[in-house]
Amino acid sequence: DIVLTQSPDSLSVSLGERATITCKSSQSLLYSSNNKNYLAWYRQKPGQPPQLLISWASMRTSLRESGVPDRFSGSGSGTDFTLTISSLQAEDVAVYYCQQYYDTPLTFGGGTRVEIK
Amino acid sequence: EVQLVESGGGLVQPGGSLRLSCAGTGFTFSLYWMNWVRQVPGKGLEWVANIKQDGSEKYYVDSVKGRFTISRDNAKNSLYLQMNSLRAEDTAVYYCARDRGGADPYYMDVWGKGTTVTVSS
C-alpha cells in the first residue's frame, strides 16, 4: 500500500500569513504515460465532511464547482507535494488531508490541523 | 443541487450486521465510481471500499475484506454497504463520496454528511 506522510501534524499561523503543508509518498505518484501526479488535497472543517480543494497535485477545484478560493495552491511531483494557503483566513481553520489515487487501496495522509495563532 | 445522503447507521453489538445506504441526487449517478470512506471521531480518514459505475469492479481495504460488501442500484441512484461481523474498531462516521474517475477511481469531489456506526455491547 502507498503510505502518505503529512507534516507537520499541526500548524499555528497568524491571520493573513502563509501556511504550508507537505505530503510525502512512499512511492512516486507520477504516471509516466500522461505526466500527471495522482494526488488530491481536501479540507475538513470542524463538524463537516471533507471538501475537495486540489486534484492532480496542482489543479484547484473550480469556483463553479465548489467555491475553492484562489489562495489555495498545490505543487510538487513524484513523491513530494505541498499545499499552500497564501493568506490564512479564519474559515481555513480545519484539518487538511492529502489522498493518492495512483493505486488501490486509495490512501489518505494522517492530516494536518491548521489553527489561528 | 448535487447531494449525497447517507442513512442506516446506528448502534450494533460486536458480531452484528448493519446496512448503510447512500442516495444520490442532482447528478447522473450511473456515470460515477462511488466510495465509502470512514472516520473514527477525532481521527483521520480511511477509505473503505469503492465500486465502478456498472458494479463490475469492487475494491476494499484489507481490514474489511470478507466482512463488508459494497453494491449499488443505479435505477434507484443508491449506494450500499453491507457490514457483517462488525467489530469495535469499525466504529466510525461513514461517508459516501462520489468519485471523479472514469475507467479507474480517482479523487472524491462530492461527500455526504455521514452516518455514524457504533459497535458496542
State how beta strands B3-7 and A107-108 pair: unpaired
Local confidence band at A66 (pLDDT 50, 70, 90 cut-offs): low
> Tens place of pLDDT for every residue, chain B, 121 residues?
999 999 999 999 999 999 999 999 999 999 999 999 999 999 999 999 999 999 999 999 999 999 999 999 999 999 999 999 999 999 999 999 999 988 888 999 999 999 999 999 9
Separation between Cα atoms, residue A75 and residue A56, nearest integer Å: 9
**Model confidence over B49-68: pLDDT tens digits?**
999 999 999 999 999 999 99
Local confidence band at A62 (pLDDT 50, 70, 90 cut-offs): low
**Model confidence over B97-107: pLDDT tens digits?**
999 988 888 99
Q: If you search the block for the grid coordinates 483566513, which residue do you land on?
A: A89
| A97/B45 Cβ within 8 A | yes
Given B47, B112, B114, which is nearest A106 (Cβ)?
B47
A-B CB pairs within 8 A amount to 62
Q: What is the DSSP string of chain B?
A: --EEEEE--EEE-TT--EEEEEEEESS-GGGS-EEEEEE-TTS-EEEEEEE-TTSS-EEE-GGGTTTEEEEEEGGGTEEEEEE-S--GGG-EEEEEEEE--SSS---EEEE---EEEEE--
Give the list of residues 6+ apart from residue B56 with CB closer than 8 angstroms, or none: none
